[in-house]
Structure 1
Amino acid sequence: MNLSPDQSIMFEAWGIPINATILYTWVVMAFLTGAAILITRNLRPDVPPNRWRTMLEVIVQGIQSQIEDVAGRRDRHLLYFAGTLFLFVAVSNLLLVIPGFEPPTASLSTTTALALSVLIAVPLFGITRRGLGGYLKTYLEPSFIMLPFNIISEFSRGISLAIRLYGNIMSGAVIAAILLGVAPFFFPVVMDVLGLLTGLIQAYIFAILATVYISSATATPNTTEKENP
């Protein structure tokens, strides 16, 4: 049994081995892109929404509502970023029910890449909203002595995100394989249901944590004072 999709070589392209992580990452991206194009191809005021468009609107509004609850404001760019993270992780995990599919989120390289995107997004969002000087000043709060600790804390967030997501997905796959070996006729249905539930929870937690980190970097002193009179 392969513990990571990195170990599964699917085929070679121009002499370069393509493993399951790369292949299924592109499969998920193609699925999300294709679904978005198909659902929104008739997105006009004079065209009544169908069930797929309604479902997509419910998902987007749900993500937007969660972001507003965490950040305390509407942020269109944060919606794009956190929403993309949620959909990618959720779809990657949900497609686990398809026989032969290996979720790319079970690879440490994928979860590390997602965590790095959050690590890069935090200062970008912070600088955009507070300015370069205002954002760098946060590393000196509450005192300049805290500078190295604040920097370490920033990097540890990304590491914890990657390890948390990878560990949960991989452990779920290992437990499923053990249970299938013990009782192959009963546990597949149960593990499929648990896999769907765990996949959604992990996607939600990952997106919420990314939103919390970005919101803390973009919060201004005036906003904090208003929220905490």
Structure 2
Amino acid sequence: MEEAVVIFAFGPVHITATVVTTWGMLLVLGVCARLATRDLSTDAPGMLQTALEGAVLAVENAIEGLVAGRSALLLPFIGTLWLFVGVANLTGLVPGLHSPTGDLSTTAALAFLVFLSVHWFGIRAVGFKAYARHYLSPNPILLPFHLLGELSRTLALAVRLFGNIMSLEMAALLILLVAGLLVPVPILMLHIVEALVQAYIFGTLTLIYIAGGMEAQQEQSKEKE
């Protein structure tokens, strides 16, 4: 992994190229979201509104397939995560920029956010006491193994996305260096497909972890009753 490029610093706080790229990406997403949703209509929706509603409906169906009745609760987080990771993966296609998800610090932050969200939604589903009881079942001696499983899963989530995106960019660069500009379109298409696939996998794994936590705690709570 190459050393992070520091753009500027505030004392001990260093702002790297990855951070600046992420800020720019968030700004673009915010502007696009504002422009796309400012003229919504219930009577005669345009093509853009229809496409956006179709995307939201697809995310809702994906959530309902794993956690029935929880799409309204999980849609904002899962939808935003899918959108962010997908755009971040594709940012490397812009000349002079690298995908923020090709930096381990970004994927580690995303994985930590997923780690917190799993517990947050689990606690909201059954309450803190019932949720915490899971880590002591069926025997308190299993607590360290439960915690180790949570940490290893979070680490794997961060490393998987980082490794895939970094290797994708390196492979594209090596092929272009060898073949020159003779095959830019096929390489571009492969990059887009792989970037979207990795975003889908990351979001789906997050949804599976959240769904598993919520359902496990709910089942255990019913057994206690």
The reply to whether TM is greater than 0.5 is yes
Superposed, 1:96-107 pairs within 5 Å as 96-107=92-103
Q: Amino acid of the residue matched to residue 203 of structure 1?
A: A
Give the structure 1 partner of residue 65 of structure 2. Answer: 69
Name stretches of at least 5 consecutive residues in structure 2 with no aligned partner: none
Aligned CA RMSD, in angstroms, stands at 2.2
SS state of the match for residue 18, structure 1? strand
- Scaled by the length of structure 1, the TM-score of the pair is 0.88
Counterpart check, 1:8 vs 2:5: yes
Question: 1:93 Cα shift?
Answer: 1.6
Contact 1:122 1:213 in 2 (8 A): yes
The count of residues paired between Structure 1 and Structure 2 equals 220
User: Equivalent residue for 2:91?
Assistant: 95
Shift in Å at residue 224 of structure 1? 9.1
Match of 1:34 in 2: 31
**Equivalent residue number for residue 206 of structure 1:** 202
Question: Among 76, 82, 92, which residue is 2:78 paired with?
Answer: 82
Match of 1:221 in 2: 219
Query: 2:64–2:70: 8 Å Cα contact kept in structure 1?
Result: yes
Contact persistence 1:93–1:103 (CA under 8 A) = yes
Q: Give me the whole-angstrom Cα distance separating, in 1, the residues matched to 2:219 and 2:146.
A: 18
Q: 1:72 to 1:222 in 2, by over 3 A?
A: farther
Displacement, 1:140? 2.0
Distance between the aligned counterparts of 1:141 and 1:72, measured in 2?
25
**1:113 counterpart residue number:** 109
Instruction: Confirm or deny: 8 A CA contact 1:93 1:195 kept in the other structure.
Output: no
Deviation at 1:222, TM superposition (A): 7.6
1:211 positional shift: 0.7
One-letter identity of the residue aligned with 1:26:
W
1:95–1:103 CA contact under 8 A, matched in 2:
yes
Distance in 1 between the 2:14 and 2:79 partners?
31
Which structure 1 segments of 5+ residues have no match? none
1:55 aligns with 2:51: yes
Closer, same or farther: CA 196–102 of 1 in aligned 2, 3 Å: same
Is the 1:24–1:104 contact (alpha carbons within 8 Å) kept by the matching residues of 2? yes
Separation in 1 of the partners of 2:169 and 2:114?
25
How far does residue 189 in structure 1 lie from its aligned partner after superposition?
1.9
- After superposition, the C-alpha distances for 1:175-226 in whole angstroms (9 at most, x for unaligned) are 111111111122322221111001111111111111111111111118999x
Deviations 1:66-121 (A, max 9, x none): 11112233332311111111000101122332212211111100000000000111
Rounded to whole Å, the distance in 2 between the matches of 1:41 and 1:34 is 11
Aligned residue type for 1:188: P
Q: Does the 8 Å contact 1:96/1:195 carry over to 2? A: no
Distance (Å, rounded) in 2 between the aligned partners of 1:161 and 1:214: 14
Give the percent of matched residue pairs that are identical in Structure 1 and Structure 2.
40
1:143 corresponds in structure 2 to 139
